[in-house]
Each structure stands twice: as C-alpha cells, then as structure tokens.
Chain A
Amino acid sequence: MKTFIVIAAYNEERKIGSVLKDLKKKYDTIVVVDDGSKDKTAEIAEKKGVIVLRHPLNRGQGAALKTGIDYALQNNAEIIVTYDADGQFLVEDIKKVVAPVEKKQADIVLGSRFLGKTINMPFSKKIVLKLGVMVGFLLYHIKITDSQSGFRALSRKAAEKIKLTADRMEHASEFFWEIMKNKLKYKEVPITVIYDDYSIGKGQKWSNSIELGIKMLLRRFFM
C-alpha cells in the first residue's frame, strides 16, 4: 500500500539529516513540512531527496502535519504515518503502527510510549503525559495510554475524515476528539521513545500543558 511518512519540522537542522537518512533506507515517500524554520532544515531535507513543503510562516506542528496530510491525500496516499523530526522514534517501529491499518483492523493507530518503552524520560514529562491521559479519558471516554504521541498511522479514510484546525500542540488531543466524533476504529501499539537533551529542549513546556488542558476542555464542551 502506498505509504507516506509525514514529518513536521521546525528548526531541526541538527537532527533532520540523520532522521531522514535512517528513514530513506526503508521508505521512499517521505514528506517533510518545513514550518517556517529559520535554520537550514529545508535545505538539508532537500539534499536528502525527500519531498519538502515549505510554510513561509511558522504555523505550529498541528498546522504543518495537516499540510503534509493534505499533500499526501492529493497524491493518492493509502496510509499516512506521522513521525517526529527530532530523532525520538525508531524507524523499525513504523511497520508496527502501519500493520493494523494494512490489515484493516484499525483506521488509526497510535504509537504509545507507555505500552512500549521510554529511554531517559524525565519524571516531570511522565506526570504531564499521565495527566493528559486522564483528561483525555474523562473528556472523550477514549482509553489510551499515551495522549500526546506524535507517532501515528492513518488510513486514507481516517485522514480524510480527521479535520485538524488547531495549529499548535493541541493537535494531539484534537485527534482524540476527531476519533470520537467520526467513530473511527483506533488501536494503540507499543513504540520506543528516546529522550536526549535535544528532544527535551524542543518538547512541550509545563505552561503549555496547562493551556492545552484548558483548550481540550473548551473544545469538548463548546464545539
């Protein structure tokens, strides 16, 4: 099945090259959405011979992923995988998230670092993520072990149905909302997430998590 790997990248010049190098060994259709980076992210990605879409302005990770998903759909993608640019994921895990979609067991598959394993995850990060899981369950009644995972596989049907409007980080919770609204079949599979100083620095801040929670609440009850 025609599989597109979609990566949203913002100022990732240090990692994007090696991430793409690993991916290129196994996958040939890779779409990098450069979200208005001020560094050489787009140039490096282009040199690796992948499809590069450039946002002239920074619009946030959710917005960039949607650009990549739209592009993939326009180019007849059958499966779309969202992947991170900062080297936290393992290429081998892609086939694990894709498999249930290929076998038509699920419309959307979410990679879970809590079913799988984490390497060097900071404790504070763990608390924030667990809180996210609780909020997600209370609001959406979706049982999920990892609420903020950026590693997913979508069937064409799911990608067409899911409407992402949130530009910033809250797109992860927006996925839940869309899963519930569209009654999509979802599944979680274990993945590995590696933390290093680089990815921790680029990750979400505490204050963002609070804002995210509020936005989830508002969306649940007013939209």
Chain B
Amino acid sequence: MITAIQLLALVFVGFAASRVILRAKDKKISITELFFWLAVWTVLILVVFFPGLTSPAADFLDVGRGIDVIIYVSIGLLFYLMFRLYVKIEEIQQDITQVVRMTAINEKKKRK
C-alpha cells in the first residue's frame, strides 16, 4: 500500500526529473549535471519507499534514526550548494563589470 508521503514524493520527483531531462535536452545543463540531479531524485525515492535503507548509515554515524541522517545530510548539502551559487553569482557579477568596463573604455577609444 502506498502512503500519502510516498505518493507526494513520486509526483514531485516525476516533475523535478522531467524538468532536469528537458533542460538536458535543450543543452542547458551538461550530461554530468543530468546524472547528478537524477541521482539526487532517485535517492529521494529510494529513501521514501524503503526507509530501512538508511538504518545502516544511522548506525554507522551513531545517529538515532535513518530519517535524521537524511535530514542532516540534506541540510549540509543545501548549504554547500547555496555557497557554491553565491560564489558563482559573485564571479558572474565581476565578469559583467569587466565587460562593461572594457566596453566603456573601447567606446571612448573609437570616438577619439
């Protein structure tokens, strides 16, 4: 029997995975990224349908329940991805400034 949370997870993962595949088709993300995200969603499905799978990890890390391990790991991963995004955005900002600067100086040279 499928539970409500499992149904929700299925619908959500189906949606998220379809987005990932579409992006890959448009070549907006690379093959590596495609597999990374599909792996993330697959793990989510596995954990929701077979919660027992997380118990060995919980025992190994001395965390009470498997589900807690998942939550800790997810939060850690989220923070890390946020940080990566933040750095990336800063880099892009600086690149834009560099292009703007070159445009301004080159335009001046041309008008001379």
Give CA–CA (A54, B94) in the complex, Å. Answer: 17
Would you give the shortest CB distance from B21 to chain A, in whole angstroms?
34
The interface size of chain B toward A, counting residues with CB under 8 Å, comes to 11
Q: Take A55-B100, A56-B100, A59-B100 as given contacts and tell me if A67 and B94 are in contact as well, using a CB distance cutoff of 8 Å.
A: no
- A33 in contact (CB, < 8 A): yes
Whether B97 contacts A63 by the Cβ 8 Å rule is yes
Which of chain B's residues have a CB closer than 8 A to the CB of A51?
A: 108
- A53 in contact (CB, < 8 A): yes
Give CA–CA (A59, B93) in the complex, Å. Answer: 9
- For residue B108, which residue of chain A has the nearest CB? A53
Give CA–CA (A33, B107) in the complex, Å. Answer: 12
- B103 in contact (CB, < 8 A): yes
Q: Take A51-B108, A53-B108 as given contacts and tell me if A67 and B101 are in contact as well, using a CB distance cutoff of 8 Å.
A: yes
Contact with B along A82-110 (1 / 0, CB 8 A): 00000000000000000000000000000
Tier of interface size on chain A: 10 to 19
Would you give the shortest CB distance from B101 to chain A, in whole angstroms?
5
Whether A55 contacts B101 by the Cβ 8 Å rule is yes
The 4 closest A-B pairs by CB, nearest first: A53-B104, A67-B101, A63-B97, A59-B97
Residues of A within 8 A of B (CB): 33, 36, 51-57, 59-60, 63, 66-67, 70-71, 74, 165, 167
- What are 28 residue pairs bridging A and B, where the CB atoms are less than 8 Å apart in the complex? A36-B100, A51-B108, A53-B104, A53-B108, A54-B104, A54-B107, A55-B100, A55-B101, A55-B103, A57-B96, A57-B100, A59-B96, A59-B97, A59-B100, A59-B101, A60-B97, A63-B100, A63-B101, A67-B101, A67-B105, A70-B101, A70-B105, A71-B105, A71-B108, A165-B94, A167-B93, A167-B94, A167-B97
